[in-house]
Chains A and B, each alone.
Chain A
């Protein structure tokens, strides 16, 4: 599946991350005011953990967490959407090199890049990948699935943006800033 072996830390991060994502998906969603559309808080967490541990962990946390929650909720995972959640985790994880959490404080510029990038990724995932998969695999009518996709893209970007940004800033502020020590 992957040539480079997973480190022990990644194995554990996938395990615990999956548990948290599953929990948020099952029990913590916030109604957005529009009927039947909830803001799924798990995507904010997914954004954070992907940046923290990178694309591979991001993919599996999304993939496992979403399939477990579908499995226990609907009896069968809705594979196209499960896969898309994995894709979002992977894609956001690619920013790990750019936003280094261990360096302390994240500048405004990096946060703006994160947000523009995550909106772009959410659009690719929910407006392009997930509905297209639904049409090809499940043969559902395209206007229905594309509308569902657009709504998810909006709500998930809000979640990844607001919650993700707060988590990143808060976490980074617990770390000592790089180069903050000065010689007197």
Chain B
């Protein structure tokens, strides 16, 4: 656990040079359209594109190994659960039923496999983009970007405060937890459910009391510096758009239009190859 929780890694590729704002717009637009579309051709296209950008950003495998493994486990688990709970969902969705292997309740149909393929791709499609965003965007620039796309500067500042204070709170938590364990409160795996709940609360109380003090101190300091008195706020980390940023935003709009065209072609969110 360190201050580098969000994995920002300084480098100088073109992906790093893009402003946080344009990366954020790209991430939001593309993840929305990928969330809506159920057409695997479109999703694979987006996936390939984001993997290309990922390669270009020169992110090392060690940095993301753990997260990627976790995401894979989560995706597979979810796909298995979807199958266990509703092996007939695909057939109901696409309106046809091609039986591959007949196993009573767990009959495997082509439609189900196809539906789960789409679902699995949808779980994974945003992963490279968000990893790029996390690793190549400076956290201090992030709030400036949020402000730029229209989130009020007060809220953007809240988020930047929380990014700033996560390592601090984490430290406090660790210290308090060790102190309380030394006093004999049970929070380890050996304890019973209720004693662990109680033990956790015993850590939370000092953590919260000290955090409330922190809230007081910080807000007084900010008030003394006249935070929130003006309509706008400037950001130290703010950067102006250049050609690359405009082209990334254009590209994301193009991807959204492409997604809509695919949907028009399929006559809905679902691409149905079975009719």
Residues of A at the B interface (CB closer than 8 Å) are 1, 5-9, 11-20, 22-23, 28, 30, 32-33, 39, 41, 44-45, 48, 52, 60, 64-65, 68, 71-76, 79, 137-144, 147, 158, 162-163, 166-167, 170-171, 174
Interface size class of B (residues with CB under 8 A): 35 or more
* A15-B165 contact in complex given A20-B207, A141-B82, C-beta closer than 8 Å: yes
Given contacts A14-B158, A15-B158, A30-B193, contact A9 B215 (CB under 8 A): yes
- With A11-B158, A45-B208 already in contact, the answer to whether A144 and B81 are too (CB < 8 A) is yes
Q: Which residue of B lies closest to A147 (CB)?
A: B85
B67-85 contact mask (Cβ, 8 Å, vs A): 1 or 0: 1001100100000011001
Q: How many contacts between A and B, using CB within 8 angstroms?
A: 165
What B residues does A9 contact at CB under 8 A? 215, 219
B24–chain A nearest beta-carbon distance, Å? 12
On whether A28 and B200 interact (CB within 8 A), knowing A12-B222, A64-B162, A141-B89, the answer reads: yes
Do A30 and B166 touch across chains, with their CB atoms under 8 A apart?
Answer: no
Q: Does B152 contact A (CB under 8 A)?
A: yes
Main secondary structure of the interface of B (DSSP, over half): helix
How far, in Å, is B192 (CB) from chain A's closest CB? 9
- Within B217-232, the residues touching A (CB, 8 Å) are 218-219, 222-223, 227-228
Q: Which residues of B contact A (CB under 8 A)?
A: 5-6, 31, 35-36, 38, 67, 70-71, 74, 81-82, 85-86, 89, 93, 119, 122, 126-127, 130-131, 134, 151-152, 154-155, 157-162, 164-166, 168-170, 173, 193, 196-198, 200-201, 204-205, 207-209, 211-212, 214-215, 218-219, 222-223, 227-228, 269
Nearest to A39 among chain B residues (CB) is: B197
Q: Are B193 and A32 in contact (CB under 8 A)?
A: yes
Say whether A11 contacts B227, CB under 8 Å.
yes
Known: A12-B222, A23-B166, A48-B208. Contact between A166 and B93, CB under 8 A? no
Give the 3 A-B residue pairs with the shortest CB-CB distance, closest first: A15-B161, A141-B86, A144-B85
- Please name the residue on chain A nearest to B35 by beta carbon: A137
Q: How far is the CA of A168 from the CA of B158 in the complex (A)?
A: 24
Q: Quick one: closest A residue to B192, CB to CB?
A: A33
Asked if residues A6 and B71 are in contact (CB atoms below 8 Å), the reply is no
Q: Which residues of B contact A76 (CB under 8 A)?
A: 31, 126-127, 130
Pick the contact of B228: A1, A5, A65 (CB < 8 A).
A5
Quick one: closest B residue to A14, CB to CB?
B158
Residues of B within 8 A of A138 (CB): 35, 119, 122
